[in-house]
Structure 1
Amino acid sequence: MAAALEDEKRKKRKSKLIIIGAIIAVIVLAAVGTAVGVIVSKNNSNSSSSSSKSTKNGSSTATTSDPNNPSKFTKDPALHQAFYGMAYTPEGALMEFGCSNTLENTIRDIQLLSQLTKRVRLYGADCNQTAQVLEAIVQTKVEMEVFVGIYNMASDDHEAYQRQRDLIKDAIETYGTKHIAGVTVGNEFMLNWVTGHDEKDPNSAIGKEGSAILLADIQDMRKTLDDMSLDKHIPLSNVHAWFANTTAEGAADWVFEFFDGQNVAPAALLPNKPHMYIAETGWPTKSSDAGNAHNGGSPASEEGLQSFLDTFLCQANDKGVGYFFFEMFDEEWKDIKFGGVEGWWGLFNKDRTLKNVKIPTCTAP
């Protein structure tokens, strides 16, 4: 990473772009920090209430199962379905790191995820992760729906998009849509596009050029699903209070205010009045360098994460806000590649142990 001053400038730039981009997303379906998806199925059901018990820091919450029957696994009494949705990437599911993800590990993760939520959002389709997640759901027999994803690259002439589109199509043809809630296209594409061209304004000519590229991929994905008799779309917007320099105590209020004002209200003015979802929201617990350990409001810490959990989860559930908590596990590759707080947003540590937090006792819809 660059020096602390440059890190601070980067954080403020990203914050500004996310705030501007969320408005554009509703209007042109392509924006900084925003993904636009296509709903392919919707399975609604009520969840049973349960209570949460705290665990000691570092205690294992990994599940155990009958090796011959993944649907039989031990549930952790400290966990219950308090989260509307969870952001998740199978460990090792990245081409640049060798596609080391395995079905065995994905089954383990789905067993754990199913104790917290009924909805999971993926970010890409490379390394066969879509099929692995769907197969894990089938084998564990949990109640789970997935927003599968395509991670577009900023300048590869649609190659990454087309490769992942075909993988998702194959997965749908193999598993059907019983466990697929939607397809998201273009997570942070515009952020990467604009900053990659040394531009700050997503409304600039550079920004419009990137929007056109992403919009073409979105339209192609919709056509692909239309051809399979699958339709409808869903706008998603990342809403991170950390990058807006808020305190941990004030983060939830900031998220609700920003989401209502910059996403929900503009969407209500559109002819189709799309229902908006929060694609990402959360709080980091650590930074790999001192320059990024504090956002100007509060430090990255487990105490901050607990505060955000306590003030956001139950309120969002009561308000009927659809959100994907960012994220399930710390991701080492992000720390290696980006440093700062990037690898430390997990509810769980990399080794699948729950961080020193307590899950609020409310139950998500």
Structure 2
Amino acid sequence: MKSSLKILVTFLILQIVFGCSSKKENTKEVKQPIKEMTAAKILGNPEYLAISYGGYRAKSREVQPTISELKEDLKLMHAMGIRIIRTYNVQPKLPHASNILEAISQLKKEDENFEMYVMLGAWIDCLNAWTGKVPNHEIESDQNEGEIARAVALANKYPDIVKVIAVGNEAMIKWATSYFVRPNVILKWVNHLQGLKKEGKLSKDLWITCSDDFASWGGGDPSYKVKELEDIIRAVDYVSMHTYAYHNSHYNPEFWKVPNHEKGLSDKEKIDQAMLRALNFAKTQYKDVSDYVKSIDSTKAIHIGETGWATVSSGHYGANGSRATDEYKQGLYYKHLRDWTNKEGISCFYFEAFDEQWKDAHNAKGSENHFGLFTLKGEAKYPIWDLVDKGIFKDLKRNGNSIIKTFKGDKEALMKDVLVPNTEYHR
């Protein structure tokens, strides 16, 4: 009896000792390494939000952002849930993209939980683009070969970061009169990059695309629907299309004007309805591209390489124009686009993260300077006021400034700048 009691007591003690030890082991935090991500896993994944990023803060691109400044911006975007950013060129005199890649690499070494990927743009031009001479759209620029080579080199140097190479930006759309090229040029370089993948000179998981206006992808004018475009659709890993209801509020304003049956609504209701029409405008352009692309290659995914809404305009979109421009409308558009694209599994490289003043350097109120979700000083515009409230930018800064809301967070003050769409507007 005593012996049995002794055994029982011993057993209970062992259970307690090993149980506690096991509990300590189970509660010990085990850090999971970031899994290897590919474009196939990132694109269309709502947990990997996308955005277009230019970190330029000065009135000229000759003043390059420092690595430290780029890291500031990357931390802000990471806090927002952004996990893939889009860049536009790798020109030798503009080391912006290569510096971004280096900044991301450093942040990853400093913090094992930092995760950011890049859709790397290679700029494509026609002969005589940006020279003062007459552009020759039938012949490509000599610079294209070097641009593609630099993109390849960066993709191989940072394979853990560069997940997409985009051949050209709005390079096939004919309204880009300064530089557009014929589709055969884009096809040539897409095929070249796909060939490097087959030869093992680029990662097989790297995706190749070109990023262009919806019309260039067969979503509009039938003149774009040529054999070379069909070949491009088959050759790319996915289609990256642009859609801008904002610009079309001037160029094609019928969707934007307040219809007769809404004229009895309050001003705010008219604006809210206009922004739903802007969403539907984007959806329609996406569907038009999708219908055409799927008729060529039913397997091809379509993502949005650019769409956005400016918050200041002294021109076509301001008080004397379509009146599309302000932070309230930007906030609605941003929310509508994120809700729609996240639900549908569409990556949306929203344009853009930060205001950049070099784009219209001689006109401070030019709309191209004001597409950012942040101001140059780092103030959060209305679309992301809620993120400030959540405290996600705590301890983060831009240009030495803590992140605060525009208008000091006063929505009534913000709404004073908000105008009803100009129904009588004629461009």
TM-score strictly above 0.5: yes
Change (3 A) 1:264 1:301: same
- Normalising by the residue count of structure 2, what TM-score does the alignment of the two structures yield? 0.57
Comparing 216-225 and 116-125, the one that deviates more: 216-225
Comparing 228-237 and 277-286, the one that deviates more: 228-237
Q: Distance in 2 between matches of 1:264 and 1:342?
A: 28
Q: What is the CA-CA distance between 1:41 and the residue it aligns to?
A: 4.4
Q: Distance in 2 between matches of 1:271 and 1:189?
A: 22
AA partner of residue 78 (structure 2): S
Residue of structure 1 aligned with 2:83, choices 105, 109, 118: 118
Q: Which residue of 1 aligns with 2:223?
A: none
- Normalising by the residue count of structure 1, what TM-score does the alignment of the two structures yield? 0.66
- Where structure 2 has 5 or more consecutive residues not aligned to the other structure, the ranges are 1-36, 109-113, 129-139, 208-236, 250-255, 257-273, 388-427
Q: What is the CA-CA distance between 1:107 and the residue it aligns to?
A: 1.1
User: What is the SS of the residue equivalent to 2:127?
Assistant: coil
Q: Which has the higher relative contact order, 1 or 2, with Cα contacts under 8 A spaced 6 or more apart?
A: 1
Q: How does 1:1-365 map to 2 (within 5 A)?
A: 41-44=39-42, 84-91=49-56, 97-98=61-62, 100-116=64-80, 117-126=82-91, 127-141=94-108, 142-156=114-128, 157-175=140-158, 177-191=159-173, 195-196=177-178, 210-227=182-199, 228-231=201-204, 232=207, 233-245=237-249, 246=256, 247-260=274-287, 262-271=288-297, 273-287=299-313, 289-293=314-318, 298-336=323-361, 340-358=366-384
Aligned partners of 1:83 and 1:325 also within 8 Å: no
Q: What is the CA-CA distance between 1:164 and the residue it aligns to?
A: 2.3
Comparing 139-148 and 242-251, the one that deviates more: 242-251
User: What is the SS of the residue equivalent to 1:257?
Assistant: helix
Q: Distance in 2 between matches of 1:192 and 1:277?
A: 21
Change (3 A) 1:170 1:40: farther
Q: What is the CA-CA distance between 1:134 and the residue it aligns to?
A: 2.0
AA partner of residue 186 (structure 1): G
Aligned partners of 1:41 and 1:180 also within 8 Å: no
Q: Which residue of 1 aligns with 2:14?
A: none
Change (3 A) 1:83 1:263: same
Aligned partners of 1:267 and 1:273 also within 8 Å: no
Change (3 A) 1:169 1:351: same
Q: Which residue of 2 aligns with 1:21?
A: none
Q: What is the CA-CA distance between 1:125 and the residue it aligns to?
A: 1.4
Aligned partners of 1:92 and 1:98 also within 8 Å: no
Comparing 149-158 and 345-354, the one that deviates more: 149-158
Q: What is the CA-CA distance between 1:191 and the residue it aligns to?
A: 3.1
Change (3 A) 1:239 1:129: same
Q: Which residue of 2 aligns with 1:54?
A: none
Change (3 A) 1:350 1:83: farther
Count of matched residue pairs: 276
Aligned partners of 1:82 and 1:360 also within 8 Å: no
Q: What is the CA-CA distance between 1:298 and the residue it aligns to?
A: 4.2
Q: Distance in 2 between matches of 1:170 and 1:193?
A: 31
AA partner of residue 87 (structure 1): S
Q: Which residue of 2 aligns with 1:200?
A: none
Change (3 A) 1:280 1:291: closer
Change (3 A) 1:210 1:44: closer
Q: What is the CA-CA distance between 1:346 and the residue it aligns to?
A: 0.7
Change (3 A) 1:119 1:93: farther
Aligned partners of 1:327 and 1:345 also within 8 Å: yes
For 1:1-55, what per-residue CA distance to the aligned partner results, in whole angstroms no more than 9, with x for missing partners? Answer: xxxxxxxxxxxxxxxxxxxxxxxxxxxxxxxxxxxxxx974445999xxxxxxxx
Comparing 120-129 and 163-172, the one that deviates more: 163-172
User: What is the SS of the residue equivalent to 1:118?
Assistant: strand
User: What is the SS of the residue equivalent to 2:358?
Assistant: helix
Aligned partners of 1:147 and 1:181 also within 8 Å: yes
AA partner of residue 321 (structure 1): I
Q: Distance in 1 between matches of 2:348 and 2:44?
A: 17
Q: Of the two, which has the highest radius of gyration?
A: 2
Change (3 A) 1:171 1:194: closer
Aligned partners of 2:238 and 2:300 also within 8 Å: yes
Q: Distance in 1 between matches of 2:101 and 2:40?
A: 16
Q: What is the CA-CA distance between 1:305 and the residue it aligns to?
A: 0.4
Give identity over the alignment, percent: 20
Aligned partners of 2:355 and 2:371 also within 8 Å: yes
